[in-house]
């Protein structure tokens, strides 16, 4: 069982039930002993009445007189059964309720339990009346009735106890684990872009508070480490831009001077290409550092995304024609989205570039946009080889490249930049497989649906195709 709260509830229920059962057993024992002691007192009280009524008759040898006197005194045969034995063991008197059966005496004590045939278990007491031995017995049926009622009550209360203790245990577990859930929720919210948040610590000096303080100290160390890494990345990228620009300019000057041999010029061209690639990595790292540090200020404005998508689709149309691919664009829905077109354009162009690079010649790339129920969803689909499920979770990390048949190696930072920019807009981005073998990358942003028409009505739907040439 994985839930600590469930385990606490079960442990509480078991502990409560066992405690209740032990208390019942102890209570049953003491109640039974008290009832038996009450029977012993009744037997003794009955003997004292017999003794007082018989008087000096017990000291005579006239058993007939004694028998008559006892018969007159034992006026409650249903409650008490009396047997009087002479010194030689001869029965002098026996109650009619005994029906001729003897009460078996126990030589080990003056009070004892006896089983009389036809009457069942009885509580008996042995007393001395002059030379005679008097045994008075009372049925234990009432004790049994009381104990059976007690047991029935116990089982009923036991069932109630199980239910109540389970509910109390569950509530107790919820209350006891509330600080743990707070720690879990807060720790789950703390990410690389939100390292300043801390777990609330109660004033109580207990293990949970100590754990929260320990985790906060760990987050402090992590925040310092992340800040150092971000500063290093930003500062190193910034410092590298100037010397790289100078190196590239010198290499271009060597090519323009025309004094290089063909082999030397080819080597310098390779250097210029790699310098451009390195400069692009530096620009991307600077953008990521600013986005992760929340140093970018977005000018978000509510606007209809359809004109923006039309503009992007024009560029995608040209790119698809250049790569001999087919491009489709659809938009459904109506509303407004808080966005900054400059950055979302970069997101879409990055995703489209990946989709075009992954698609085979003559393949199809589709840009779908849907604005419904307060959500703007944009997806880019390709017909490439796709990405395995275990890798789809990591393609938005830095320097992770999607396998592509194209010649452009990329920097491995494009999708990481897309994720940062989408999250800055308050949205999310993810990848999923298409019905075929390709990949669909989707980002979603909150939207405000238009008030002058139903949000789910198709509006401004556009379908455009760039055929292979």
Q: Are strands 301-303 and 132-139 parallel, antiparallel or unpaired?
A: unpaired
What number of residues does the chain have?
A: 469
Q: Say what the alpha-carbon torsion angle 89, 91, 97, 100 is, to the nearest 10 degrees.
A: 90
Q: Are 344 and 425 in contact (CB under 8 A)?
A: yes
Q: Which residues contact 432 (CB under 8 A, 6 or more apart)?
A: 392, 439, 440, 442
Q: How far apart are CA 128 and CA 216, in angstroms?
A: 84
Can you give the pLDDT at residue 454?
A: 38
Geometric angle at alpha carbon 429, from 423 and 434, rounded to 5°: 170
Can you give the pLDDT at residue 60?
A: 55
Per the DSSP assignment, residues forming a β-bridge with 378 are 369, 443
Sign of CA dihedral 54, 55, 58, 60: negative
Sheet holding 132-139, edge to edge: 91-94, 80-85, 132-139, 120-129, 111-116
DSSP letter at 128? E
Can you give the pLDDT at residue 463?
A: 40
DSSP letter at 88? T
Q: How far apart are CA 309 and CA 328, in angstroms?
A: 12
Over the Cα atoms of the chain, what is R_g?
48
Q: How far apart are CA 115 and CA 196, in angstroms?
A: 82
The structure tokens listed for 119 are: 């009457």
Query: Which residue from 285, 181, 180 is spatially nearest to 233, judged by alpha carbons?
Result: 285
Query: Which residue from 429, 318, 308 is spatially nearest to 365, judged by alpha carbons?
Result: 318
Query: Which residue from 424, 465, 171 is spatially nearest to 320, judged by alpha carbons?
Result: 465
DSSP letter at 65? H
Can you give the pLDDT at residue 460?
A: 39
Per the DSSP assignment, residues forming a β-bridge with 379 are 368, 442
Can you give the pLDDT at residue 339?
A: 92
**Torsional class of 94: left (φ above 0), alpha (ψ -120 to 50), beta (otherwise):** beta
Q: Are 5 and 174 in contact (CB under 8 A)?
A: yes
**Torsional class of 391: left (φ above 0), alpha (ψ -120 to 50), beta (otherwise):** alpha
DSSP letter at 125? E
Q: Tell the residue number behind the tokens 């209350």, with chain if given.
A: 175
Predicted TM-score (pTM) of the model is 0.50
How many Å from the N-terminal Cα to the C-terminal Cα in the chain? 63
Domains of the chain by start residue, with CATH:
4-146 (3.30.450), 207-292 (1.10.287.130), 301-465 (3.30.565.10)
Q: Are 421 and 287 in contact (CB under 8 A)?
A: no
Average pLDDT for runs of 10 along the chain of length 469:
78 90 92 91 88 69 73 72 84 82 81 86 87 88 89 91 90 84 83 76 82 88 79 72 84 86 88 84 76 73 92 92 92 92 92 90 93 92 86 81 58 84 91 87 84 39 39
Q: Reduced to 3 states, what is the DSSP secondary structure of residue 383?
A: coil
Q: Which residues contact 423 (CB under 8 A, 6 or more apart)?
A: 193, 429
Can you give the pLDDT at residue 369?
A: 95
The structure tokens listed for 253 are: 């000057």
Q: Which residues contact 23 (CB under 8 A, 6 or more apart)?
A: none
Q: Are 121 and 114 in contact (CB under 8 A)?
A: yes
Phi/psi for 227 (5° steps) reads -60, -40
Q: Are 40 and 125 in contact (CB under 8 A)?
A: yes
Q: Reduced to 3 states, what is the DSSP secondary structure of residue 59?
A: helix
């Amino acid at each position: 069982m994985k839930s600590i709260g469930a385990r606490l509830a079960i442990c509480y229920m078991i502990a409560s039930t066992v405690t209740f059962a032990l208390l019942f057993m102890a209570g049953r024992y003491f109640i039974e002993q008290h009832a038996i002691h009450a029977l012993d007192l009744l037997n003794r009280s009955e003997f004292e009445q017999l003794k007082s009524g018989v008087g000096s008759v017990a000291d005579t040898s006239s058993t007939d007189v004694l028998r008559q006197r006892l018969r007159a005194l034992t006026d409650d045969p249903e409650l008490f059964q009396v047997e009087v034995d002479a010194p030689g063991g001869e029965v002098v008197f026996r109650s009619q309720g005994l029906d001729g059966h003897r009460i078996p005496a126990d030589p080990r004590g003056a009070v004892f339990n006896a089983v009389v045939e036809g009457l069942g278990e009885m509580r008996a007491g042995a007393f001395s009346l002059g030379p005679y031995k008097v045994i008075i017995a009372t049925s234990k049926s009432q004790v049994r009735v009381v104990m059976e009622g007690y047991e029935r009550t116990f089982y009923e209360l036991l069932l109630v106890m199980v239910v109540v203790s389970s509910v109390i245990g569950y509530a107790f577990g919820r209350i006891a684990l509330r600080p743990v859930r707070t720690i879990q929720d807060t720790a789950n919210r703390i990410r690389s872009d939100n390292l300043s948040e801390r777990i609330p610590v109660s004033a109580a000096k207990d293990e949970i508070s100590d754990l929260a303080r320990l985790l906060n100290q760990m987050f402090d160390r992590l925040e310092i480490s992340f800040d150092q890494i971000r500063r290093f990345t930003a500062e190193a990228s910034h410092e590298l831009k100037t010397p790289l620009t100078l190196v590239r300019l010198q290499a271009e000057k060597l090519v323009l001077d025309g004094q290089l041999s063909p082999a030397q010029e080819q080597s310098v061209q390779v250097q210029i290409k790699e310098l451009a690639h390195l400069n692009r990595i530096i620009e991307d790292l600077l953008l990521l550092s600013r986005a992760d540090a929340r140093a970018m200020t977005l000018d978000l404005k509510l606007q209809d995304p359809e004109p923006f998508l039309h503009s992007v689709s024009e560029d995608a149309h040209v790119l698809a024609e250049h790569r001999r691919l087919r491009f489709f664009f659809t938009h459904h829905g109506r509303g407004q989205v808080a966005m900054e077109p400059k950055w979302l354009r970069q997101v879409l162009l990055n995703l489209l570039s990946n989709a075009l690079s992954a698609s085979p010649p003559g393949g199809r790339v589709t840009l779908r946009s849907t604005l419904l129920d307060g959500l703007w969803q944009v997806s880019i689909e390709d017909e490439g080889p796709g990405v395995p499920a275990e890798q789809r979770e990591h393609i938005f990390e830095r320097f992770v490249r999607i396998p592509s048949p194209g010649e452009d190696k990329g920097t491995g930072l494009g999708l990481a930049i897309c994720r940062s920019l989408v999250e800055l807009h308050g949205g999310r981005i993810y990848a999923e497989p298409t019905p075929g073998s390709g990949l669909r990358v989707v980002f979603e942003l909150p939207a405000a649906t238009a008030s002058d028409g139903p949000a789910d009505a198709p509006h401004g739907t556009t379908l455009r195709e760039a055929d292979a040439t």
